[in-house]
Structure 1
Amino acid sequence: MRRDERGLAVSVEAAVVLPALVLFIALLLSLARYALAEQDVGSAAAAGARAASLERSTAGAREAANAAVGQNLSEHNVTCLETSLRVDAAAVSRPLGERGNVTVLVGCRVSLADISLPFIPGSVSVTAERSSPVDPLRGR
Structure 2
Amino acid sequence: MRRWARKDSGSTAIEAAIIIPPLIMFVCLAIAGGRLALSGSKIDAAAEDAAREASIHRTAGAASDAAHAAAAESLDDQGIRCASSSVNVNASGVNVPVGQVATVTVTVRCTVNLADLLLPGVPGARTLESTATSVVDQYRQRGD
TM over 0.5: yes
Secondary structure, aligned partner of 1:7: coil
**Equivalent runs, 1:29-108 vs 2, <5 Å:** 29-108=31-110
The CA RMSD over aligned residues, in Å, is 1.2
Structure-1 separation of matches of 2:59 and 2:131: 21
What are the within-5 Å matches in structure 2 for residues 3-14 of structure 1? 3-14=5-16
TM-score (norm 1): 0.94
The alpha carbon displacement at 1:100 in A equals 1.2
**In the TM superposition, what is the alpha-carbon distance from 1:22 to its structure 2 partner?**
0.2
- Report the alpha carbon displacement of residue 121 of structure 1 after superposing the two structures with TM: 1.2
What is the CA–CA distance in structure 2 between the aligned matches of 1:6 and 1:50, rounded to whole Å? 67
Q: How many residues align structurally?
A: 140
Equivalent AA in structure 1 for residue 133 of structure 2: S
How far did residue 9 of structure 1 move? Answer: 2.0
Q: Please state whether the residue corresponding to 2:58 is helix, strand or coil.
A: coil
Higher Rg: 2
Cα offset, 1:38, TM superposition: 0.9
Q: What are the superposed Cα offsets for residues 21-45 of structure 1, whole Å, 9 maximum, x if unpaired?
A: 0000001111111111111111100
Distance across 2 between alignment mates of 1:4 and 1:94: 85
User: How far 1:48 moved relative to its partner?
Assistant: 0.3
Shift of the alpha carbon at 1:10?
Answer: 2.3
| d(CA) in 2 for partners of 1:78, 1:9 | 45
Q: Could you tell me which amino acid in structure 1 is paired with residue 84 of structure 2?
A: E
Q: Distance in 2 between the 1:115 and 1:126 partners?
A: 18
Residue 132 of structure 1: CA displacement? 0.6
Q: Paired residue for 2:127, among 119, 125, 128?
A: 125
Gaps of 5+ in 1: none
Normalised to the residue count of structure 2, the TM-score between the two structures is: 0.92
Distance in 2 separating the partners of 1:4 and 1:100: 80
Q: Any gaps of 5 or more consecutive residues in structure 2? A: none
